[in-house]
């Protein structure tokens, strides 16, 4: 189960979202459970509340995502099937309870731990639901959308779950599925991201740094140096994972964005450091997503060889014992380190170019000033990935 969820599903979600937008939402079991609970609540006469504004902006989602990220180093949730199982059952239970008590797809809008990831990474996806050109008011309005969107004004993938309700409700056939080039120029992009979205991009930039460092031993030693010293000094070996988690999603992002923000402010981006961060968040999300995809590729190609063993013996105990006793060879990775490094480097370079383009779309007047901080993050990730290939000693 762990191999399927964290080794295959999780990297696949990042790749699918960047390429196809929020395609996962079309088949998501949590949305299904929450919608069924919403219908059940209605038939039982439960008065379902509107989602409070602070929840709808993603304030709780960022907290839930942070908790999920902390569970990786803290309790190794990705390696312990028991914890993964608890996580899945709790998610299903919360989806059901939220559906029962709130209306308008409240779980998706205010509780789903990956909602901000899908919002940030899925914007440039090639699949989209949009009104036909010139459809105007003939296209369905907000009454056709359970996510409180107005389909007739839809101009971005950020909140649309691609559920097709508006297409089904559209007698005039003005709503369409579209397959476009990645990062369609016609989509709306706001000049400054919301605070939850900005904090999400900052936090994930630290997590991706940790993930990219983890493939290159020398970089990993540098990354781990401070949290390890802190754990040693505090005599808290048992809490070392939590200390590493706080370092990864709080301290490193802060240091990274202080550097990026300082460069941005020197270039004249924003009215303050906080404003510069919000203006950089959406273009930077493209670079961060590429780093995430690179690590996902590395994880997938090194874990995929275990699939035949997982299929033959889902429990995994005999396989693990055989590998430990060296009677069963460890499956080889699919790509050599230089090949993996070259593919990943291409991803980050292309993403950095796309991020510069997104900055131009978001704010044409400030795009030139945003180049330096975007190139700084892209260059930093590219440097770490070059290290994977064994080209830097």
List 71, 145, 203, 280, residue binding ligand SF4 (CB under 6 A): 145
Give the rounded distance of the alpha carbon of 183 from its chain centre: 17
Contact between 60 and ligand SF4 per CB under 6 A: no
Asked if 96 is part of the footprint of ligand SF4 (rule: CB under 6 A), the reply reads no
Among 2, 20, 23, 24, binds ligand SF4 (CB under 6 A): 24
Q: Among 106-114, 237-245, 309-317, 377-385, which window interacts with ligand SF4 (CB under 6 A)?
A: 106-114
**3-state percent helix, strand, coil for the chain, nearest multiple of 5:** 70, 5, 30
What is the length of the chain?
393
Write out the two tokens for 35: 């919608």
Residues in contact with ligand SF4, shown as a per-residue x/- string from 117 to 136 under the rule CB under 6 A: -x----------x-------
183 part of the interface to ligand SF4, by CB under 6 A: no
Stretch that binds ligand SF4, among 40-48, 109-117, 178-186, 340-348 (CB under 6 A): 109-117
What is the token pair recorded at 185? 């120029």
Query: What are the beta bridge partners of residue 179?
Result: 127
Residues 248-287: x/- map of binding to ligand SF4 (CB under 6 A)?
----------------------------------------
Q: Does 187 bind ligand SF4 (CB under 6 A)?
A: no
DSSP 253-307: HHHHHHHHHHHHHHTT-SSSHHHHHHHHHHHHHHHHHHHHHHHHHHHHHHHGGGH
Strands 175-179 and 127-131: antiparallel
With CB under 6 A as the contact rule, the residue among 64, 98, 108, 384 that binds ligand SF4 is: 108
Q: Is 329 helix (H, G, I), strand (E, B) or coil?
A: coil
Q: Is 151 in the site for ligand SF4 (CB under 6 A)?
A: yes
Nearest Cα to Cα of residue 84 among 70, 72, 97: 72
| DSSP 8-state symbol, 3 | I
Phi/psi for 129 (5° steps) reads: -105, 130
Structure tokens at 38: 């919403």
Q: Whole-number minimum distance, CB 115 to ligand SF4, in Å? A: 5
Q: At what angle do helices 273-303 and 367-388 cross, to 10 degrees?
A: 30
> Interface with ligand SF4 by CB under 6 A: which range of 59-67, 158-166, 253-261, 362-370?
158-166
The reply to whether 112 sits near ligand SF4 by the rule CB under 6 A is yes
Q: At closest approach, how far in Å is the CB of 64 from ligand SF4?
A: 11
Determine contact, residues 298/388, Cβ cutoff 8 Å: yes
Q: Which of 2, 147, 152, 156 binds ligand SF4 (CB under 6 A)?
A: 147
Residues near ligand SF4 (CB under 6 A), total: 25
Token representation of residue 147: 């996510």
> How far is the C-alpha of 65 from the C-alpha of 76, rounded, in Å?
15
Residue 30 near ligand SF4 by CB under 6 A:
yes
Q: For ligand SF4, which residue of 60, 161, 189, 208 counts as binding (CB under 6 A)? A: 161
Given 62, 100, 149, 288, the residue binding ligand SF4 (CB under 6 A) = 149
Say if residues 358 and 187 touch (Cβ distance below 8 Å).
Answer: no
- In angstroms, the CA 299 to CA 174 distance is 42
Which CB atom, from 129 or from 199, has the smaller least distance to ligand SF4? 129
Note whether 110 binds ligand SF4 by CB under 6 A. no
Q: Is 12 in the site for ligand SF4 (CB under 6 A)?
A: no
Q: Is 33 in the site for ligand SF4 (CB under 6 A)?
A: no
> Does the protein bind ligand SF4 through residue 165 (CB under 6 A)?
yes
Find tokens 């050599």 and name the residue: 336
Tokens of 384: 């770490």
Q: Which residues bind ligand SF4 (CB under 6 A)?
A: 24-25, 28, 30-31, 107-108, 112, 114-115, 118, 129, 144-145, 147, 149, 151, 154, 160-166
């Amino acid at each position: 189960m762990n191999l399927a969820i964290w080794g295959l599903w999780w990297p696949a979600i990042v790749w699918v979202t960047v390429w196809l937008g929020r395609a996962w939402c079309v088949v998501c079991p949590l949305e299904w459970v929450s919608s069924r609970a919403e219908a059940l609540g209605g038939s039982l006469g439960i008065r379902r509340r509107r989602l409070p504004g602070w929840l709808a902006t993603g304030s709780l989602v960022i907290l839930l995502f942070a908790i999920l990220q902390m569970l990786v180093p803290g309790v190794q949730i990705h390696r312990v099937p028991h914890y993964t199982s608890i996580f899945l059952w709790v998610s299903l239970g919360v989806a059901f309870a939220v559906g029962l008590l709130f209306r308008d797809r409240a779980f998706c809008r205010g509780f789903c731990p990956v909602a901000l990831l899908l919002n940030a990474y899925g914007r440039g996806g090639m699949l989209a639901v949009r009104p036909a050109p010139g459809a105007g008011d003939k296209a369905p309005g907000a009454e056709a959308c359970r996510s409180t969107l107005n389909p007739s004004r839809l101009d971005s993938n950020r909140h649309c779950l691609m559920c097709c309700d508006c297409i089904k409700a559209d007698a005039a056939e003005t709503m369409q599925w579209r397959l476009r080039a990645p990062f369609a120029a016609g989509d709306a992009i706001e000049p400054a991201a919301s605070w939850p979205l900005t904090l999400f991009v900052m936090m994930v930039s630290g997590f991706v740094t940790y993930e990219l460092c983890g493939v290159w031993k020398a970089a990993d030693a540098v990354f781990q140096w401070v949290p390890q010293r802190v754990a040693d000094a505090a005599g808290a070996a048992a809490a070392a994972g939590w200390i590493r988690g706080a370092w990864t999603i709080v301290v490193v992002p802060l240091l990274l964005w202080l550097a990026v923000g300082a460069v941005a402010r020197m270039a004249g981006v924003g009215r303050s450091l906080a404003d510069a961060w919000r203006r950089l968040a959406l273009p930077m999300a493209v670079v961060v997503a590429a780093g995430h995809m690179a690590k996902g590729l590395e994880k997938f190609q090194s874990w995929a060889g275990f699939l035949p063993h997982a299929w033959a013996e889902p429990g995994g105990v005999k396989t693990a014992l055989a590998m430990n006793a060296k009677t069963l060879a460890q499956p080889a990775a699919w790509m050599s380190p230089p090949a993996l490094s070259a593919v990943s480097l291409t991803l980050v370079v292309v993403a950095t170019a796309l991020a510069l383009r997104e900055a131009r779309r978001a704010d044409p007047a400030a795009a030139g000033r945003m180049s330096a901080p975007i190139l700084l993050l892209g260059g930093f990730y590219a440097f770490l990935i070059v290290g994977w290939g064994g080209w830097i000693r």
